[in-house]
Amino acid sequence: MSAILPPAERLWYRHPIDRVEGTWIALALLWCLIMFFMMVGWHIWGRQNLSTETYRTTPDKFMASVQAMVDKYTVRTETDEKTPVVAPPPGSDVYLLARLWAYYPILELEVGKTYRLHLSAMDYNHGFSLQPANINIQMVPGFEHVVTITPNHSGTYSVVCNEYCGIGHHKMVGRIYIKK
């Protein structure tokens, strides 16, 4: 028989499976099950993935929440665009939005204190990549992602967009200050 010619018997699937084929199918199924349960285990016990809450929102509603926080907790402004630096009290809800080609506002948080970080995008998909902590979340318009965070090291952290969002994508960088 040649690979070029069609099989002599068209109903090939009715033939019994060879022992070697059956062994490989069983091994593949077993490996799939192992990987499935490992993903669940990594999420629960390995702390490999962030547990986020996700809610539907509108850009206007999320912007109103962000602006209310900025109006209440602004301590100073930075950059040429006069971006507000916001220092909310520990335990509060902290909002960060992404829009072409900036993050708003700059956050100033305290070490060892817990915050609920709300993330959303106003216009296109943006990324929230916190460096050097290596946290990555995709920010999608119309959805609000809530992450409970407790900073454990002081310093200046960069927020980088890792979803291509247009011609100014390379300049889309924000900051989070963590103070003692």
* pLDDT computed for residue 49 by the predictor: 60
Q: Do the beta carbons of residue 73 and residue 88 sit within 8 Å?
A: yes
Question: Which residues contact residue 45 at a Cβ distance below 8 angstroms, ignoring those fewer than 6 apart?
Answer: none
Tokens of 38: 């490992």
What is the distance between the alpha carbons of residues 102 and 104, in angstroms, rounded to a whole number? 6
Q: Domain-by-domain residue ranges, the chain?
A: 12-44, 53-179
Query: What is the second-level CATH architecture of the domain 53-179?
Result: Sandwich (2.60)
Report whether pLDDT(22) > 80: yes
Q: What is the mean pLDDT of residues 96-115?
A: 92
pLDDT at residue number 100:
87
Separation between Cα atoms, residue 26 and residue 17, nearest integer Å: 12
Q: Which residue has the higher pLDDT, 180 or 177?
A: 177
Each residue's pLDDT tens digit, 29-87: 999 999 999 888 877 777 656 667 889 999 999 999 999 999 999 999 988 888 999 99
**Residue 116: predicted pLDDT:** 93
Q: Is the pTM of this model over 0.75?
A: no
